Amino acid sequence: MALTALLSVSDKTGIVEFASALHQLGVRLLSTGGTAKLLADSGLPVTEVAEVTQFPEMLDGRVKTLHPKVHGGLLARRDLPAHMAALKEHGIATIDLLVVNLYPFEATVAKPGCTLADAIENIDIGGPAMVRSAAKNWKDVGVLTSADQYEAVLAELKAQGKLSDKLRFALSVAAFNRIAQYDGAISDYLSSVNFEAEKLSETYVPERSQFPGQSNGHFIKVQDLRYGENSHQSAAWYRDLHPAPGSLALGVQLQGKELSYNNIADADAAWECVKSFKLPACVIVKHANPCGVAVGASALEAYGKAFQTDPTSAFGGIIALNRTVDGAAAQKISQQFVEVLMAPDFTPEALEVFKAKANVRLMKIALPAGGDTPWKQGRNAIDAKRVGSGLLLQTADNHELQLPDVKVVTIKQPTQEEIQDLLFAWKVAKYVKSNAIVFCKGGMTMGVGAGQMSRLDSARIASIKAQAAGLSLQNTVVASDAFFPFRDGLDVVVDAGATCVAQPGGSMRDQEVIDAANERGVAMVFTGVRHFRH
């Protein structure tokens, strides 16, 4: 008996070619509305669903496939005589393939100025219903919800005249995933709408909350991991349904051992930091904190300067560069033990160098093109943190300090060189765990104090790190991710050698700290923005 396929698609990419191939394989074609017209105009023999159901499309196409002759044909189990007898009694033919993609709800609501009426009209009803029916009956029906599935289906039909259980099940899983994504998008949109009945009209564009009444995140598994943060924990890595260009999730591993949970967490910290620099830059991360950051004329120079900050911590670290790694940079980096090396690209010479270091994980990640949205910049728009039986959501800290934002609050004015180093130090401090104190000079970190309960301790640790690395903190600048609540923190960094300090300001004792800076003869600027990172 010839197979029957029902095709009803919103996105018609490749549908004519797919339907033509099905026809050549002897598959009977059923279709609806615009899809049926397109296939008929292309010279394919197609039967309208309305002809099968003996019921016309109605309500502007809202009702066309919600009929027993459609759902009976999809849901009937071929291995149950009672089901097949019921089909025969009611004159219902089986449907073996269903090809459906849904109304473009996500694309519609993503458009600026989308009206509530347009959003509602693009909620598909018949499509998801058919997909669920076919996916439930996966043993007998193959359901296709994306054009990228056409090739695999045709290959099996041509080879064996039917679909394997394995492929039908995979198609069913993909179908239910798609329905979950679709319904989640509808829920996200509708529960974000600040509904105002008095404004209701066909042209009503509702205001929307950034945080919907229900959050329906959708993530796709990239890979299972050997273990989590510790060996007794299990883990897996998931990516966004639609990853931003230039984000870690789109990286390609060129060589090396499988990435671990901690590798991925540290790699993300390094990559997010390094791609924020326009000059050639290198970031070395250890345990989620930058332990060395620098800019230079080349990848080689940037790496050399970053490594100087803390060679001890750099051992077994994660390295990210925002320029192509060439042979010279590869030779230098290969002299240290590195877990992961990330860059936009690697020259053939660099790849050849690392062949001798087979365990080093090389990750190639394209830099984002940039733009006016976090997505275009390759960044998350929303950050999440799991808490007991709950989830904290916040807009991501994507603030970039600009020179006009800097307010000098002391008698002494910073030099142009100090201003540039302050902007650099402030950018680094944003990626250091709070409490963060970062000493910088000449486009490189000179000492980093991170993650302490006391800002004083972070300042002291930064000084100790610099001393251990043989670096002088004389005439350095310092960035503090939050305000100095007392003058003691300022005194510690000035005693270490700092001549210029950046902090957000906003403390009840700001004037006390400003007076201390004037007393010590150093420059201080307020940024007006705090960068806690927990």
pLDDT in tens, 473-531: 999 999 999 999 999 999 999 999 999 999 999 999 999 999 999 999 999 999 999 99
Average pLDDT (374-389) is 91
Query: pLDDT at position 431, please?
Result: 96
Q: How far apart are the first and last CA of the chain?
A: 64
Query: pLDDT at position 70, please?
Result: 86
Average pLDDT (234-261) is 94
Q: Which two tokens stand for residue 93?
A: 């033919």
Biggest CA–CA distance in the chain, Å, is: 98
Query: pLDDT at position 58, please?
Result: 66
**Over 372-407, what HEC string results?**
CCCCCCCCCCEEEEEECCEEEEEECCCCCCCHHHCE
Average pLDDT (394-401) is 92
Using the predicted structure, report yes or no on whether residue 1 has a pLDDT greater than 70: no
Using the predicted structure, report yes or no on whether residue 80 has a pLDDT greater than 90: no
The DSSP code for 198 is G
Q: Which two tokens stand for residue 265?
A: 């967490």
Query: pLDDT at position 114, please?
Result: 92
Average pLDDT (232-253) is 94
pLDDT in tens, 100-135: 999 999 999 989 899 999 999 999 888 999 999 999
Question: By the 8 A CB rule, do 30 and 7 touch?
Answer: yes
Share of the chain above pLDDT 70, in %: 99
Half-sphere exposure of 83 (CA within 13 A, CB side): 15
Phi, psi of 158 (to 5 degrees): -70, -35
Query: pLDDT at position 32, please?
Result: 87
321: amino acid identity, one letter: L
Q: Which two tokens stand for residue 230?
A: 């510790």
Cis-peptide into 435, omega within 30 deg = yes
Phi, psi of 464 (to 5 degrees): -60, -40
- Residues with active-site annotation: 136, 287
- The top-scoring range by mean pLDDT among 89-93, 348-352, 381-385 is 348-352
CA 466 → CA 252, 307, 455, distances in Å? 35, 12, 17
- pTM summary value: 0.89
Query: Cα(473)–Cα(218) distance, rounded to whole angstroms?
Result: 47
CA 61 → CA 8, 122, 491, distances in Å? 12, 12, 74
Query: pLDDT at position 64, please?
Result: 67
Using the predicted structure, report yes or no on whether residue 61 has a pLDDT greater than 70: no
CA 359 → CA 103, 236, 316, 342, 343, distances in Å? 47, 21, 12, 14, 17
